[in-house]
Structure 1
């Protein structure tokens, strides 16, 4: 692309300020650099109204000031690379696009919807150091769940669960139940490798059929 700066100031306008076409050739901190031609400036700042961040090779519109005045890039006219762009907003906020992808850079982002907010994608990834969720009602439908936790602490007034098959394995298990603990099952089988100890103030075993106790030695009393 031709990098020559072309002055487009109207005849009779104040010659101290011109509007010129320019091609960005470099950047030094906040300054954008151009090739010198005629009265065009060698460098310029991006104006607050120019939200698209200029890049090397872009054709821009520059408001060229006088010898001691600051020149500003007021618009990006044509992009050298059309695949992506950066929309820079005041307050250190930027929107970046790259081949259909959108990335938001900000200190914090708040989404406030009066009625509903929907997120839909084949893959959703959320990463953070701390998370907090507060809902009055939650409904979830998950086909498969794989989770790894360090420590879990839950407090609930009532828990009801219906499971087709439940398999649990723990190194140690301790339960405290203040009132009743009732189990209803078609069959119950307990297998203890070492020792089974049952302690109660009163114990009752009722069977409609047969009660069998089999051991090498049985102590009663």
Structure 2
């Protein structure tokens, strides 16, 4: 390829180089029958794959891939960002839209001042979950919980109001308090093989 005019600061620019191999951050290119050792330019976000046609800038003994022009293979596009990268929209809006969205990281942190989540179905599998909230309000049509063991500690007052309450224990049922009051508008029934009062 002939050198492009008006690009004296960048040296020779080759328009139709092909990626032959990739090893770590190094790339081997084939341009006009010549093999070149190159690196991906800082502004080139797409990771080149072998077989890609790329735009190359040569400056003396260094060659840089500026952009991926075409991908002949079926490899998906991979956007590679250096450490400490940030995608920002300032005070504007940033939308991510996809048929399937996968987020994967060794460690993550989400900080949102006002958060709204909407979905038809949610499944969560975690080893340990800890939630610290100042106030929690839950509205649900139906709540079902299945536990091997359950512990709940309330420092002050706990209230349960329902039309009907059914509590059953296959083993031992123990109710204890400094003061206990049982009131019924119609009938109070105590049934057992033995009943001890006092």
- TM-score after normalising by structure 1: 0.64
Check 1:177–1:118 CA distance in 2 against 1; reply closer, same or farther (3 A cut): same
Query: Which structure has the greater CA radius of gyration?
Result: 1
Could you tell me which runs of 5 or more consecutive residues in structure 1 were left unpaired when the two chains were aligned.
Answer: 1-5, 201-221
Q: In 1, distance between residues paired with 2:119 and 2:74?
A: 25
Calculate the aligned-residue CA RMSD, in Å.
3.7
CA distance, structure 2, for counterparts of residue 186 and residue 124 of structure 1: 44
How far apart, CA to CA, are the structure 2 residues paired with 1:131 and 1:93? 29
Task: Tell me which residue corresponds to 2:68.
Answer: 76
Q: Distance in 2 between matches of 1:81 and 1:103?
A: 23
C-alpha offsets along residues 128-152 of structure 1, whole Å, 9 cap, x if unaligned?
A: 2221212222221122223222332
The counterpart of 2:42, out of the listed 38, 43, 48, is 48
Q: More deviation in 58-67 or 135-144?
A: 58-67
When residues 175 and 165 of structure 1 are mapped into structure 2, their CA distance, relative to the original with a 3 A threshold, is: same
2:78 alignment partner in structure 1: 86
1:111 is aligned to 2:110:
yes
1:164 Cα deviation (Å)? 2.9
Distance, in Å, in 2 between the alignment partners of 1:83 and 1:73 is 18
Query: C-alpha displacement at 1:177, in angstroms?
Result: 1.3
Change over 3 Å in CA distance of 1:98–1:22 after alignment to 2: farther
CA distance in 1, matches of 2:86, 2:149: 38
SS of structure 1 residue aligned to 2:106: coil
- Paired with 1:125 and 1:92, the residues of 2 have a C-alpha distance of 31
Mapped partners of 1:152, 1:92: distance in 2 = 42
In structure 2, the CA distance between the partners of 1:27 and 1:94, relative to structure 1 (3 Å rule), is farther
- Partners of 2:25 and 2:39 within 8 A in 1: yes
- What TM-score, normalized by structure 2, do the two folds share? 0.70
Question: Following the alignment from structure 1 to structure 2, what is the Cα–Cα distance between the partners of residues 139 and 44?
Answer: 58
Match of 2:158 in 1: 159
Higher relative contact order (CA 8 A, sep 6+): 2
Distance 2:153 2:40 in 1: 55
Worse-matched range after superposition: 18-27 or 101-110 = 18-27
Quickly say closer, same or farther: Cα 1:73–1:144, change in 2 above 3 A.
farther
- Distance in 1, Cα, partners of 2:76 & 2:116: 26
Aligned residues: 188
Match of 1:174? 174
Q: Separation in 1 of the partners of 2:122 and 2:27?
A: 38
